[in-house]
């Protein structure tokens, strides 16, 4: 699907879809996002496993809004605006467990479903001034998909199902809901949330930012829009394990086996996330058991077979997915507005970027790895934080390379010499489509399809 050039105030100029710098650096633009995007769009708040027991809650903060996401029954989750209706104090922070939701200012409290308000010295008010209905916590729409919990502050919004379409159809076969946290890390970056997000929804930067990867992969990607969402993949590139055409002048790699092994070992060592952790074993088997000189397709099919066999040997449930479905899904999805995932049958690498309050020059950035585990073997994973963006031991080489760009991008966009971003019309369609959908919310209150 091609993205059409769009022109409207504050977003696009010219015939080639130039994205104005103001979209990333202007406080007024951030205020428009706060009112017309974040208060009206479906957004991922947390994973189901973060609130496993009845009474467990997660506090989701976005700009100046705070939402309580709480498990009210074994298979029921609700959300409320995180505010006491008495004097406005927040009720929760972070994650925790509550028998009742309690205000630490004056002691007002509620059942975990937001009802049955208990007011200290309630008799001092006239009964008509404090009815239970007026004191119940204000609800927020909740949706659940693939292990994630989403919230939407707009009571008149479309359903989560509608919002996720058509991306959901590509992603459902991966059974992401059957995965659990492997690790999760967060930080504050010195850039706009969109700058951080766009560092991970295109593969065009690999040839420079991650140039070490060219020795075992052809980096040329294609990107396509799907409604509000977009994805990219390597559909026209040389097969996995090939040296990049940038290094070979277009000459094909004869033996894919060493490249596949090096790719998986390097990703496991420098990123430790997604499917690569569980595919190293299969890549090494390819080197040992597949004869040199085997046809590319034979090598790739054996690699897939060995991944499957290794997963079964670990007691993992393999998703009901076909090779065609994996091919069509590509490798990277941007779910509007701020969720990115690189998924495979055995794992997923995910990113989320959020504004840091009302400051357009900072963002909260979350990155996490999901893996498949045998029943009862999923670990308890705590969220880790670090502001040392060059720490390879904590972040891994790949992420430190990405982090090295974002603050410099934010700085550069303030230059009077910068005339606006010009995304690649084939490899960075996800960036173009992101701003088209964002424009729909800011101009119209919704994303036009």
- Domain contains 151: yes
Of 136, 156, 176, the last residue of a domain is: 156
**161 falls within a domain:** no
Pair 276, 406 in one domain: yes
* Spatial separation of the C-alpha atoms in residues 412 and 406, rounded to whole Å: 10
Question: Which residue from 44, 46, 82 is spatially nearest to 64, judged by alpha carbons?
Answer: 82
* Residues whose CB falls within 8 Å of the CB of residue 126, separated by 6 or more in sequence, listed in order: none
> Is 426 among the domain residues?
yes
Range of the domain at 126: 43-156
Looking at the structure, tell me whether residues 131 and 220 fall in a common domain: no
The secondary structure of residue 118, as a DSSP letter, is B
CA neighbor of 153 nearest in space, from 61, 81, 92, 48:
81
Identify whether residues 141 and 263 lie together within a single domain. Answer: no
Give yes or no: residues 88 and 64 share one domain.
Answer: yes
CA distance 304 to 133: 57
Domain presence at residue 261: yes
Rounded to 5°, the CA angle 326-327-332 comes to: 75
Q: Is 236 within a domain?
A: yes
Strand partners, 13: 18
CATH number, domain containing residue 285 = 3.90.380.10
Please tell me the total count of domains within the chain: 2
Same domain, 372 and 391: yes
Is there a single domain that holds both residue 7 and residue 74?
A: no
Angle 257-270/276-289 helices, nearest 10 degrees?
150
CATH number, domain containing residue 95: 2.102.10.10
Q: CB under 8 Å to 43, separation ≥6 — which residues?
A: 62, 150, 151, 152, 337, 338, 339
Neighbours of 202 (CB within 10 A): 23
Give the model's pLDDT for residue 445.
53
Q: What is the DSSP string of 200-260?
A: SS-STTHHHHTGGGGGT-----EEEEETTEEEEE-TTSPPTTPPPHHHHTTPPPS--HHHH
Do residues 182 and 320 share a domain? yes
Residues 57 and 183 both lie in one domain:
no
Residue 162 within a domain: no
Whether 9 and 121 map to the same domain: the answer is no
Shared-domain flag, residues 36 and 47: no
Question: 86 and 26 share a domain?
Answer: no
Residue 239 lies in a domain: yes
Residue 146 lies in a domain: yes
How far apart (Å, rounded) are the C-alpha atoms in residues 187 and 394? 12
pLDDT by residue for the chain (449 residues), tens only, comes to: 233 332 223 333 333 589 999 999 999 999 999 999 999 999 999 999 999 999 999 999 999 999 999 999 999 999 999 999 999 999 999 999 999 999 999 999 999 999 999 999 999 999 999 999 999 999 999 999 999 999 999 999 999 999 999 999 999 999 999 999 999 999 999 999 999 999 999 999 999 999 999 999 999 999 999 999 999 999 999 999 999 999 998 899 999 999 999 999 999 999 999 877 779 999 999 999 999 999 999 999 999 999 999 999 999 999 999 999 999 999 999 999 999 999 999 999 999 999 999 999 999 999 999 999 999 999 999 999 999 999 999 999 999 999 999 999 999 999 999 999 999 999 999 999 999 999 999 986 544 34
Residues 34, 50, single domain; the answer is no
Q: Which of 127, 156, 185 is the last residue of a domain?
A: 156
State how far the Cα of 215 lies from the Cα of 206, in Å rounded to an integer: 12
3-state secondary structure of 399: helix
Domain boundary residue among 156, 184, 214?
156
């Amino acid at each position: 699907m091609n993205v059409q050039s769009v022109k409207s105030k504050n977003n696009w100029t010219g015939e080639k879809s130039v994205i104005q710098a103001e979209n990333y650096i202007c406080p007024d633009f951030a205020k428009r996002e706060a009112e017309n995007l974040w208060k009206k769009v479906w957004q991922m708040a947390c994973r189901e496993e973060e609130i496993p027991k009845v009474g467990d809650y997660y506090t989701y903060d976005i700009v100046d809004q705070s939402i309580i996401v709480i498990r009210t029954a074994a298979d029921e989750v609700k959300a409320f605006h995180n505010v006491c209706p008495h004097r406005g104090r927040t009720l929760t922070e972070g994650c925790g467990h509550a028998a009742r939701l309690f205000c630490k200012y004056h002691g007002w409290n509620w059942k975990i479903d937001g009802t049955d308000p208990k007011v200290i010295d309630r008799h001092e008010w006239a009964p008509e001034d404090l009815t239970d209905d007026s004191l119940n916590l204000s609800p927020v729409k909740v949706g659940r998909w693939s292990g994630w919990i989403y919230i939407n502050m707009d009571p008149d919004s479309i359903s989560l199902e509608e919002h996720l379409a058509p991306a959901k159809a590509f992603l459902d076969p991966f059974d992401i809901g059957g995965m659990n946290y492997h690790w999760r890390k967060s930080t504050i970056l010195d850039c706009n949330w969109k700058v951080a997000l766009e560092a991970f929804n295109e593969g065009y930067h690999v040839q420079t930012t991650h140039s070490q990867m060219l020795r075992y992969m052809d980096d040329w990607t294609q990107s396509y829009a799907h409604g509000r969402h977009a994805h990219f993949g390597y559909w026209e590139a040389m097969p996995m394990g090939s040296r990049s055409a940038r290094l070979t002048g277009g000459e094909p790699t004869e033996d894919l086996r060493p490249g596949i092994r090096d790719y998986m070992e390097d990703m496991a060592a420098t990123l430790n996330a997604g499917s690569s952790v569980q595919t190293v074993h299969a890549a090494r088997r390819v080197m040992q058991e597949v004869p040199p000189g085997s046809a590319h397709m034979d090598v790739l099919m054996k690699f897939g077979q060995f991944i499957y066999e290794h997963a079964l040997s670990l007691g993992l449930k393999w998703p009901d997915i076909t090779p065609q479905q994996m091919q069509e899904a590509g490798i990277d999805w941007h779910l509007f507005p701020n969720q990115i995932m690189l998924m495979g049958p055995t794992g997923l690498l995910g990113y989320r970027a959020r504004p840091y309050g009302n400051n357009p020059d900072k963002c909260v950035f979350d990155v996490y790895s999901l893996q498949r585990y045998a029943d009862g073997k999923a670990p308890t994973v705590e969220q880790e934080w670090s502001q040392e963006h060059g720490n390879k031991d904590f972040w891994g080489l790949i992420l430190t390379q990405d982090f090295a760009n974002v603050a410099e991008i934010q700085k550069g966009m303030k230059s009077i010499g910068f005339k606006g971003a010009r995304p690649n019309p084939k490899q960075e369609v996800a960036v173009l489509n992101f701003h088209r959908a964002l424009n729909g919310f800011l101009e119209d209150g919704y994303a036009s399809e």
